[in-house]
Amino acid sequence: MVAYHEAGHALCSELLPSVEKVHRISIIPRGKALGYTLNLPEEDRYLKTKDELLDYLVVLLGGRVTEQLVFGAITTGASDDLRKVHDISRSMITLYGMGTELASKQLPADDYSMSDHTRRMIDEEQQYLTDLAHRRAAKLVAENRTLLEALAFTLLQKEVLEREDIERLVGLYKGQAEPFNGAEPGPARIAAAEAQDRSA
């Protein structure tokens, strides 16, 4: 589950050009995290566009979407991702004026003079952004299932993938739109089942 979750993040990062590239993926537990995907910027940047922030929301939701697609279930593993999605999407509406109806002023959350109607609009605009990102993540993962399986399978084998491993896999599978037969388990699920049998 962790391998697929992290592979989902990595896949979305690699396929969205505005997102910082993945430098390492690990499924070795560290602290409270069962795994992690490390993105590093190629240059220092202080400004982000609306499209770049939306792409980042897609990456954050990529792990959870992958769990649902592959296993038909979601876990608590995405709690930190969901917190970040909430914070970023809220800031996009209330601080950066990146909504559709609420685009001309800041709307600080602690402004008690704000009307109930405005608060409802903030919630609706935020929901629109997160739903949009969720749909985009689901589409990316589903359309690139072969690459997802390759990332997850290699991650199960090696436990840690560095940038060169990721580039090699993406180079092999990018642009291959082979239909994935969802009725059959992918190579990563087969490998996981075999490893479980060996340890039993």
Please give the Cα distance from 183 to 164 (Å, whole number): 32
Q: How far from chain centre, in Å, is Cα 47?
A: 21
> Which one of the listed residues 6, 67, 125, 149 is annotated catalytic?
6
Verify whether residue 6 is a known catalytic residue.
yes
Q: How far from chain centre, in Å, is Cα 56?
A: 8
The structure tokens 């560290």 sit at: 30
From the number of C-beta atoms within 10 Å of its C-beta (0-12, 13-18, 19+), residue 72 rates as exposed
Which residue numbers are catalytic?
Answer: 6
